[in-house]
Structure 1
């Protein structure tokens, strides 16, 4: 290991530092996610081996409870290692390969080992002079445990919690990618201790800013923003050259608190996804009876205030007065998911336009009585959440107002690049 500072905030390793697990690593294609901790995969041929047969479709333990929706898409290449003796599943996921060829480390159980190594080697500037006294220590006055107790040369002690971040949205690294009450409570308790710090290991060195994912978990974002004066937040970018091999660190990432604060109000736009199993004629208010084909439906709306309450109302079925077009459709469909888009300056029309090119059709005049759009209801034959184009559109719309709040914008490529 020979780390060298190559530019401001970037440390490269002459020889990659490996955190790969022991055992024979194989590559596999992601097929589908069975539940939070199990994925179905198709093994690729081992070097010099025979072509893969259908029998090599198998399961793997996924040591990461996050949604990982932008990573676990059909065909994504995973690195897996044998599950070991006594394992329920024959394989365990280590990392994933992104479309640009870079690696995302997915084993959250090993993230603390990475943090410990970097602290011991003095490679995290914000923690220079601090040493690890103990791991997995109780946090006084709570029922929680934190990852590390640190101490500096003067004997001062500090409690450190480590989080693993795999959601990269253009120039932003975002955490969490799923609601985490446990994570919110950790932040609150660390702030109350007045001796806490939060180290966010971001599994990429390409991001410029770290932000709490205000759209997915506003409670976590609110708690973190309230703690900013008493809780040190340390974002650290880690580049992986392969399964478990660190090649570079980025130490100059910042937290744009003002932009985050502008997104904490409970307002904005939303899209809700519903599923209809079979073609169904449904009386739809002033639209009359509409024959809806089977498939997935994406409805776009907005709320100047009470965004979460509006989404909750849409989710209820059978216990409300039917008022909007979407109320009638909701009575006959199953709920799939809601996608909030928080922040100032959002409008429904731009959100519809972002997803319209990806849809198979739309229902004319649905939800659009006071809109410039022909429809606010889009129809998909297949679940669009398994489409990379849909996920990219979702991410782009979620970063747009954050970039505006920071005072910059993307170029026309739509790839998250910023204008000079």
Structure 2
């Protein structure tokens, strides 16, 4: 996924009202850009550090610029735009990057399913009738040397785990795919210290047959793409 037009650079002043971020440009002017991240963004915001943002040509947008990348104090890049995770996953599947998800004939996005009024991020199917339900999650929380999900209590994430378990019970394949948008993360595990219920549900889902995959995004100011798998550490 290439950035076109190229990203612009600034310095983070602050994020507020969840969706707004103030950025200082090289000429010392200040602009407000859209923050496409509804999460807590724990350990992802570093005031005074460099950020990069994209620009939309949609004249209807009140804030034409979108927060894409953040640099932390160690010089590591963090993908702020969680909306990219699904597109990156689709691109990687279509390009056969995710070896565990090869061999299907069709890919659909945002398909209604389950008993809790959900939409699956990606549904793979084959002519034989086999189906694979894939829930995509963006992982950006780095603590010490490991990555964690979620970064805040997530009742929505808990619902998605229940839906995946239900698909396994119906005889389908179900996958939870962590898209790691942080250059400093090399392993992923459930953040039981943040959301114990989610961690317990994930442990239950794994025991029931839900597969968990983690793939890391290669990030630069020119573009982002899923490149390599990384280790998911399950609860013992």
Q: Give the TM-score taking structure 2 as reference length.
A: 0.88
- Post-superposition offset of 1:197: 1.0
Instruction: State the partner residue of 1:150.
Output: 124
What's the RMSD between the two structures over aligned residues?
2.0
Matches within 5 A, 1:282-301: none
Structure 1 residue ranges, 4+ long, deviating more than 6 angstroms after superposition: none
Distance in 2, Cα, partners of 1:113 & 1:245: 11
Distance in 2, Cα, partners of 1:132 & 1:235: 22
Distance in 2, Cα, partners of 1:34 & 1:167: 19
Distance in 1, Cα, partners of 2:138 & 2:234: 19
Instruction: State the partner residue of 1:201.
Output: 179
Distance in 2, Cα, partners of 1:88 & 1:123: 36
Q: Aligned in 2, Cα 1:79/1:208: closer, same or farther, shift over 3 Å?
A: closer
Kept after mapping to 2: 8 A contact 1:120/1:131: no
Distance in 2, Cα, partners of 1:176 & 1:220: 8
Instruction: State the partner residue of 1:39.
Output: 21
Instruction: State the partner residue of 2:10.
Output: 28
Structure with the larger strand share = 2
Distance in 1, Cα, partners of 2:222 & 2:155: 30
Kept after mapping to 2: 8 A contact 1:122/1:129: no
3-state SS in 1 of match to 2:42: coil
1:57 matched to 2:30: yes
- Post-superposition offset of 1:39: 1.1
Distance in 2, Cα, partners of 1:252 & 1:60: 32
Matches within 5 A, 1:254-403: 254-258=232-236
Q: Aligned in 2, Cα 1:102/1:205: closer, same or farther, shift over 3 Å?
A: closer
Kept after mapping to 2: 8 A contact 1:187/1:227: yes
Instruction: State the partner residue of 1:106.
Output: 80
Kept after mapping to 2: 8 A contact 1:102/1:241: no
Instruction: State the partner residue of 1:271.
Output: none
Distance in 1, Cα, partners of 2:175 & 2:41: 25
Instruction: State the partner residue of 1:238.
Output: 217
3-state SS in 1 of match to 2:120: strand
Distance in 1, Cα, partners of 2:159 & 2:22: 33
Q: Aligned in 2, Cα 1:25/1:179: closer, same or farther, shift over 3 Å?
A: same
Structure showing greater radius of gyration is 1
3-state SS in 2 of match to 1:108: coil
1:19 matched to 2:11: no
Distance in 1, Cα, partners of 2:143 & 2:116: 34
Q: Aligned in 2, Cα 1:132/1:172: closer, same or farther, shift over 3 Å?
A: farther
- Post-superposition offset of 1:27: 0.6
Instruction: State the partner residue of 1:75.
Output: 48
Distance in 2, Cα, partners of 1:174 & 1:97: 18
Kept after mapping to 1: 8 A contact 2:182/2:217: yes
User: 5+ residue gaps in structure 2?
Assistant: none
- Post-superposition offset of 1:136: 0.7
Distance in 2, Cα, partners of 1:132 & 1:163: 21
How many residue pairs end up in the alignment? 230
Distance in 2, Cα, partners of 1:75 & 1:243: 22
Distance in 2, Cα, partners of 1:165 & 1:143: 24
Structure with the larger helix share = 1
User: 5+ residue gaps in structure 1?
Assistant: 1-17, 45-51, 259-420
Kept after mapping to 2: 8 A contact 1:79/1:96: yes
3-state SS in 1 of match to 2:43: coil
Q: Aligned in 2, Cα 1:172/1:153: closer, same or farther, shift over 3 Å?
A: farther
Q: Give the TM-score taking structure 1 as reference length.
A: 0.51
- Post-superposition offset of 1:168: 1.8
Q: Aligned in 2, Cα 1:98/1:239: closer, same or farther, shift over 3 Å?
A: farther
Instruction: State the partner residue of 2:205.
Output: 227
Kept after mapping to 2: 8 A contact 1:103/1:243: no
Distance in 1, Cα, partners of 2:101 & 2:34: 33
